[in-house]
Structure 1
Amino acid sequence: MGIIVQEQEGLFHLQSSGMSYIFQIVNGYPVHVYWGSRLIHRESMTELMVHTPINAGLDRLPQEYPQYGSGDFRNPVYQVELEDGTRITELKYIGYKLIKGKSSLTGLPAVYTEDETEADTLEVELKDAYSGLIVVLSYCIYADRNVIVRSARLCNKGDKQLRLRRALSASVDFPGNRDFEITYLSGAWAREGNITRKGLHQGETRIDSKRGMSSHQMNPFAALVTPETNEYQGEAFGFSLVYSGGFEAVAEVDSFGSTRFSIGINSFDFAWLLSPGEGFQTPETVMVYSGQGLGEMSRTYHRLYRTRLCRGRYRDEERPILVNNWEATYFDFNAEKLISIAEEGAKLGIELFVLDDGWFGKRDSDNSSLGDWYEDRRKLPGGLADVAERINQLGLEFGLWFEPEMISPDSELYRKHPDWCLHVPERRRSEARWQLVLDYTRQDVRDYIYDSLSAIFSSVPVAYVKWDMNRCLTEIGSADLPPERQSETAHRYVLGLYELLERITASFPHILFESCSSGGGRFDPGMLYYMPQTWTSDNTDAVERLKIQYGTSLVYPVSAIGAHVSAVPNHQVGRITPLDFRGDVAMSGNFGYELDLTKFTEEDKVTVKRQIVTYKEIRGLVQSGDLYRLKSPFEGNESAWMFVSDNKEEALVYYFQVMAVPNAPRRFLRLAGLHQELEYEIRPGHSDEQYIYGGDRLMQIGLPIVYEQKDYESGWFRVRALKPTIA
């Protein structure tokens, strides 16, 4: 395993325990050969080499980093404008380098290794002789994961300026004998994580975000799958971009049936000036191969992102159960109201109290004070420190909500620095939620935010931060950039955000940071590098959350999915669902409550205490176990999933029925991920009942499920092996 190079044949074979990725150099061009299940490497691999018709143009070559203007009429991965206005470059191979382990990317988030034996990296150098453009393609392959990580660095080694018009991270040309479908995550605010799947035909299928953020509408992820692919079988080729700004992912089928898939920073309204000696690093793309369906693809992403993307103290720690006051009070609260909620939380066993929006400036609604990061003494006479310390005395940790990337026109900060927002001179400044976006390309803006937040974190015992971003970027221009660099603003904004997050998280490693963007508007791998969990959606309705959490798990680990129990009627859709149902859905993520605990009935309190005790017992398995999706909420009235330990000796099974079914047939839920030769003890929820079933029986026949005749019915099972795992 590792990287095998046959220099005479120009062949590069990247090999993990279960996957091979092969390309070769043909007439100076890196040409894709194979990506899929692991191949045994033999001294002679000539049968794999790409053979093209005599005099065939680049349009017939399956390239690794295709260019524009030299005979390939499909989408290029990069495009450069030269100083003379021409846009033609032709990259040719000049050499390679092998590196043990994996290097970090300067200024960008990236997956990593903890030991160099975990992965090997190949760097392939290409050059355009006319312009002096050098492109270094990076391929990192993990030894024991079916993962290959790709990125590119474009460098100007000439003596004249170059302007990048397009600089994507990766491209793969699949041969014409593949009949692909594409699956991806789409949606909107409060409807994130919808799984879309459709066939590919001649022409382009494009998903993207032009919003300056990864967005609610499209997630920076897509997978190419075969028609027979489902959760358990068939091939899946996943592409996940480690980036938090605008992106594009395009699948293009040509007239010969071959499919080119490319992904990276959105080339719409993008340009980057490269002076002689300067370079540009693309974000990296995490590519996952599965020959065992979408489920195995997801679990590969989950394990990698949970342990080799997320960082810091909370990467491996169990996450606390919290209560957030947002839906309990919105902006209408005072210190005593907060303490009353915290007191009830302490009695119920909650571990963290989070003070959401409205604690700063003169913030009585969402139309003022963003940027004025000092406590409102009208609401908090003793200040944040007083509230935090009183909450700590109750045995709860204290957390705070911020929206540090925004500025309100009605704020002291805006009155002092009206040029600190993204804007174009003499143009209207579009407001959304009565707010503008701070210009994070500017060092002085980032320094102000760092100093403001640091002052609070250094004087208040803050253990958790919810970092929100509630609008997209408009009027994308900067007063701090010259005219020739205005098209760099959107990407520089993201780079500035990453720089600030690196400083803050490094300075305050004890704080658990959670990303939020009106819910899941920036649920992407780039943010997970700095913040190990994300508020999945502002929609807290349990029925809607079945879809949102199920879809999000297609690529993101459960440890990253924030999930709360909220009040009924639900504030987003008005639905009334039982507390048990809401709890079971929320316990399938990072668990918490978002309601007024002081309004619970005695019966509610008994239920909540039981939920909290249960979650403390099971959260290790929920947050770090292998997820198996059993029934899709997108396909019917039922949903189900399970969490399985690494050794397959323990599991949790959750099932949900949305609407009651009259005269329903007998139902069996087929489990997954168990050892077929083991015997398992099954205990339903909090019942003292127990059953013994073989692993083969549970996976082939299934577990009998009995629903009561009522809407919004849920339940769960503990599954434990009766003897150690069979060697």
Structure 2
Amino acid sequence: MSRQASPTDPWILRTEHTAYAVALDPSGRWAELSAWGPHGIETGPSPMHWSRRTHFLTPADAAPAEHLPQGLRPFTGADLIAHHPGGPRGSWYAFTGVDQDGDQALRLHFDDELLGLRTTLHYQVVAGTDVIQRWTELTCTGDRELRLERFDSAAVNVPVDRARLTYLAGQWSQEFQLTQLELARGRFEMTSSQGVPGHAYAPWLAVQDATASAHGPTATYGIALAWPGNWRISADAEPGGAVRVRAGRLPDQGAVRLAPGASLTTPVLACAFSPDGLDGLARVWHQYERVLAGERLLRPRKVLYNSWEATGFDVRAADQLELARTAAELGVELFVVDDGWFPGRHDDTGGLGDWYPDPEKFPEGFDHFIGKVRALGLDFGLWVEPEAVSPASQLYAEHPDWVYRLDGRPATLVRNQLLLDLGRAEVQEFVLATLDRLLSSHDISYLKWDMNRPPTERGRPGQQPDQNSEGPDVEYQDLDAAHVAGYLRVLDRLRSAHPQVTVEGCAGGGGRIEHATLARTDVVWPSDNTAPMDRLRIQYGYLHAHAAHTMSSWVTDAPGLFDPRPRSLAFRFVTAISGVLGIGADIRAWTERQREEAAGWIARYKQVRDVVHHGEVHLLNSPADPTCGLQFQTPDRDRVVVTAWSTGLLDGAPLVPGRPARLRLRDLDPAAGYLDQDGGTRYSGAHLMHAGLPYAWTPERDAELTVLVRT
């Protein structure tokens, strides 16, 4: 280990376009942010510089610290609360060394010798992105057990006087609603204790100066926590003019125990910066998720048909094949049988856990059925919910101890099912063996992993009292972390054993979407709501945080839940084409004209999906505006794909004189020509950016896909 030559000399980390500078405070006891922004931001006086005069605070309480324990920072929010059983809450650490790998990785070490705790702050630049990953490693170096009540991954400091916070809020069927507030002073907090990130909030936050435009070119800082369990994010507008964001796990038992010699590693907190507003920050996150996908990104996202909307639990081979034949005629490439294919699954009261094809539903055999689907030129996929079990299932009869339960307490049924304790090694092996058997025994190339209930009564049957614990005599178990570790282990082994299988993540819609899951799946299901205007708002928010190649989107016949305005089939297709196109409607009931239109949209999707999934994205206006759209383009700006929607009122449009709506594009070559491949109109880049693409919306034409080629 080495030390800085001077406490004021910063350590510099460099991403593709940004710099992140960290220095020790003058006392040498903690690390502070010195600068974060575009290359060169580190040259000159630090924008985080402060006078270090404090009244009724300690210096650490006012510092832009990267991480501080409660003992040093007692008043304004500590990132670490640690103590011995029965001892005082608090830790006082000091800097003891550094390891640095050029400008790409950094590790800062802090020790509390009296408590017996080492804290190591990790920083890692993600090559090819403007993202720095941060996490903390905590090691018990003494001979007594430690209790960790709070152990955030990191703190992120943003130099703004009045903050505009942008976050993604909602509920089931209304996830990813882009929401903003100004935080002049005080604290803002988001949490989930549902064992998954949940539908109410996404573990993602963006911070801007409230005096700047929300979507225009302005410095924008973002964080995202990679943790598919309980979590929290808080933002404090602090004395002196700054915002300090903290993020990390939320321990489900109140505290986590750390035995002598043991270490705990917190979840990764990804930190991103863009000078180009929320629109630019979205592109930073999209590129990061492409890096997380690795080689899997090269696999085309196929057009999917899912049978759930058409048949529900009433799965019968003849009906499924009728749907598959119709889907193949439309140009669909993948057929997925959803819930209802296994024994006892006639409604949501039975069957979960007994993962074998029901011979009554597939009388000629499951493989014979799959063979007929594949003979149509379709890949085959299957829905599973491997973490759940029905009380009436054979699995529950044989292993009632595998579910979360508290002795002497009633079990709560959610969706008429219980949740398996995936933290148990035997449960993990069961799930792995089940999925491996299905994928090895049958010609399945797509797996939809669903989870439709949070954990309740979170305990293990037969657990023994712990006489050494504080508070109630309950044996300590870090069940949330154990479940997360089991979930990720199963996914990792599944991907290793079956690398060619496409995996879709789902949790009652968008209940478990974060970077740990996205790194191990190919696509995710943002919401169970597929109504046209509702879905557009969901996807608009989603694309601020996540990439289009991860966003599964279906065309269905669903009526609006939150916005009942009718929209055309074209509107639904253009919405779905903006992600990974799927169809979930009962296409048997579609008219011949509807099927012809659908086939045309599917053919167009296949022509543009490489740009949608691999290109740079600009968010044009919002669903709250009369016209909104998305602009996807290749990095060289030679191909531009625009999906656009009429989101305003259409009443009177044929009668009242007016001009076409205009959607102004961004980041084109102003001197170049761009040809509309379908309409034949030629535009200059300057015209498209300053006058915009024209749309003469009518009730029959309320959405459009435009492909522009540079000439």
* Pair in the same fold by TM > 0.5: yes
* Paired residue type of 1:548: I
CA–CA separation in structure 1 for the residues paired with 2:692 and 2:235:
38
Query: Is contact 1:157-1:277 (8 Å) kept?
Result: yes
Matched, 1:37 2:19: no
Matched, 1:11 2:10: yes
Once the two structures are superposed, the pairs formed by residues 248-647 of structure 1 within 5 Å of their partners are: 248-267=232-251, 269-306=253-290, 308-312=291-295, 314-479=296-461, 483=466, 486-567=476-557, 569=559, 576-633=566-623, 635-647=624-636
CA–CA separation in structure 2 for the residues paired with 1:29 and 1:286:
21
What SS is found at the alignment partner of 2:415? Answer: coil
The alignment of Structure 1 onto Structure 2 pairs a total of residues equal to 692
CA–CA separation in structure 1 for the residues paired with 2:701 and 2:534:
12
CA–CA separation in structure 1 for the residues paired with 2:194 and 2:46:
46
Offset of 1:260 from its aligned partner? 1.6
CA–CA separation in structure 1 for the residues paired with 2:47 and 2:337:
64
Q: What residue in structure 1 maps to residue 663 of structure 2?
A: 669
Q: What residue in structure 2 maps to residue 203 of structure 1?
A: 186
CA–CA separation in structure 2 for the residues paired with 1:48 and 1:449:
50
Shift in alpha-carbon separation, 1:288–1:330, aligned structure 2, 3 A: same
CA–CA separation in structure 1 for the residues paired with 2:593 and 2:375:
27
Offset of 1:571 from its aligned partner? 8.9
Deviates more, 1:568-577 or 1:69-78: 568-577
Residue 72 of structure 2, aligned match among 57, 70, 73 = 70
* Paired residue type of 1:673: D
Query: Is contact 2:615-2:635 (8 Å) kept?
Result: yes
What SS is found at the alignment partner of 1:219? Answer: coil
* Paired residue type of 1:552: Y
CA–CA separation in structure 2 for the residues paired with 1:90 and 1:383:
66
* Paired residue type of 1:34: A
What SS is found at the alignment partner of 1:648? Answer: coil
CA–CA separation in structure 2 for the residues paired with 1:586 and 1:80:
48
CA–CA separation in structure 1 for the residues paired with 2:307 and 2:544:
30
CA–CA separation in structure 2 for the residues paired with 1:268 and 1:456:
33
Offset of 1:70 from its aligned partner? 3.4
Shift in alpha-carbon separation, 1:35–1:377, aligned structure 2, 3 A: same
Residue 141 of structure 2, aligned match among 145, 157, 169 = 157
Query: Is contact 1:4-1:13 (8 Å) kept?
Result: no
What SS is found at the alignment partner of 1:273? Answer: strand
Deviates more, 1:566-575 or 1:596-605: 566-575
Q: What residue in structure 2 maps to residue 137 of structure 1?
A: 121
Offset of 1:157 from its aligned partner? 1.1
Residue 161 of structure 2, aligned match among 166, 169, 178 = 178
Query: Is contact 2:7-2:23 (8 Å) kept?
Result: no
Shift in alpha-carbon separation, 1:603–1:462, aligned structure 2, 3 A: same
Query: Is contact 2:170-2:177 (8 Å) kept?
Result: yes
Offset of 1:145 from its aligned partner? 2.9
* Paired residue type of 2:287: R
* Paired residue type of 1:494: V
Residues 657-691 of structure 1 show CA distances to partners (whole Å, capped at 9, x for unaligned) of: 133053364222111131222111124xxx4x322
Query: Is contact 1:5-1:13 (8 Å) kept?
Result: no
* Paired residue type of 1:627: V
Query: Is contact 2:252-2:480 (8 Å) kept?
Result: no
Q: What residue in structure 2 maps to residue 123 of structure 1?
A: 107
What SS is found at the alignment partner of 1:548? Answer: helix
Identity %: 29
Question: Structure 1: 5+ residue runs without aligned partners?
Answer: 101-118, 723-727
Shift in alpha-carbon separation, 1:162–1:48, aligned structure 2, 3 A: closer
Residues 562-619 of structure 1 show CA distances to partners (whole Å, capped at 9, x for unaligned) of: 0111125569987653222211111111001102222222111211111111111111
Q: What residue in structure 1 maps to residue 81 of structure 2?
A: 79
CA–CA separation in structure 2 for the residues paired with 1:149 and 1:84:
35
What SS is found at the alignment partner of 1:486? Answer: coil
Matched, 1:238 2:237: no
Q: What residue in structure 2 maps to residue 110 of structure 1?
A: none
Query: Is contact 1:565-1:593 (8 Å) kept?
Result: yes
* Paired residue type of 1:282: T
Query: Is contact 1:184-1:197 (8 Å) kept?
Result: yes
Matched, 1:657 2:650: no
Matched, 1:215 2:198: yes
Q: What residue in structure 2 maps to residue 107 of structure 1?
A: none
CA–CA separation in structure 2 for the residues paired with 1:553 and 1:20:
25
Offset of 1:259 from its aligned partner? 2.0
* Paired residue type of 1:24: A
Query: Is contact 1:668-1:702 (8 Å) kept?
Result: yes
What SS is found at the alignment partner of 2:293? Answer: coil
What SS is found at the alignment partner of 2:632? Answer: strand
Instruction: State the superposition RMSD in angstroms.
Output: 2.3
* Paired residue type of 2:193: K
Residues 52-88 of structure 1 show CA distances to partners (whole Å, capped at 9, x for unaligned) of: 2399532222211021133531111111121342212
Shift in alpha-carbon separation, 1:425–1:717, aligned structure 2, 3 A: same
Q: TM-score, normalised by structure 2?
A: 0.93
What SS is found at the alignment partner of 1:72? Answer: coil
* Paired residue type of 2:539: Q
CA–CA separation in structure 2 for the residues paired with 1:155 and 1:305:
30
Shift in alpha-carbon separation, 1:61–1:396, aligned structure 2, 3 A: same
CA–CA separation in structure 2 for the residues paired with 1:568 and 1:268:
37
Q: TM-score, normalised by structure 1?
A: 0.91
* Paired residue type of 2:37: G
Q: What residue in structure 2 maps to residue 700 of structure 1?
A: 690
* Paired residue type of 2:285: Y
Query: Is contact 1:656-1:712 (8 Å) kept?
Result: no
CA–CA separation in structure 2 for the residues paired with 1:219 and 1:554:
11
Shift in alpha-carbon separation, 1:400–1:455, aligned structure 2, 3 A: same
Residues 5-53 of structure 1 show CA distances to partners (whole Å, capped at 9, x for unaligned) of: 65564421223343222221121211222222322666x9799866523
Residues 367-423 of structure 1 show CA distances to partners (whole Å, capped at 9, x for unaligned) of: 111111111111112332221111111111100000001111111111111111111
Offset of 1:262 from its aligned partner? 0.5
What SS is found at the alignment partner of 2:405? Answer: coil
Query: Is contact 1:649-1:674 (8 Å) kept?
Result: no
Query: Is contact 2:534-2:560 (8 Å) kept?
Result: no
CA–CA separation in structure 1 for the residues paired with 2:47 and 2:355:
65
Query: Is contact 1:238-1:289 (8 Å) kept?
Result: yes
Residues 210-261 of structure 1 show CA distances to partners (whole Å, capped at 9, x for unaligned) of: 1111011100001111222322311111000111111111011233333221
Offset of 1:481 from its aligned partner? 6.3
Deviates more, 1:478-487 or 1:430-439: 478-487
Deviates more, 1:540-549 or 1:699-708: 699-708
* Paired residue type of 1:716: L
CA–CA separation in structure 2 for the residues paired with 1:336 and 1:631:
46
What SS is found at the alignment partner of 2:594? Answer: helix
Residue 713 of structure 1, aligned match among 696, 702, 707 = 702
Shift in alpha-carbon separation, 1:522–1:566, aligned structure 2, 3 A: same
CA–CA separation in structure 2 for the residues paired with 1:72 and 1:85:
16
Query: Is contact 1:546-1:639 (8 Å) kept?
Result: no
Shift in alpha-carbon separation, 1:181–1:673, aligned structure 2, 3 A: same
* Paired residue type of 1:361: P
Offset of 1:654 from its aligned partner? 1.5
Q: What residue in structure 1 maps to residue 672 of structure 2?
A: 678
What SS is found at the alignment partner of 2:153? Answer: strand
CA–CA separation in structure 1 for the residues paired with 2:359 and 2:538:
38
Deviates more, 1:609-618 or 1:49-58: 49-58
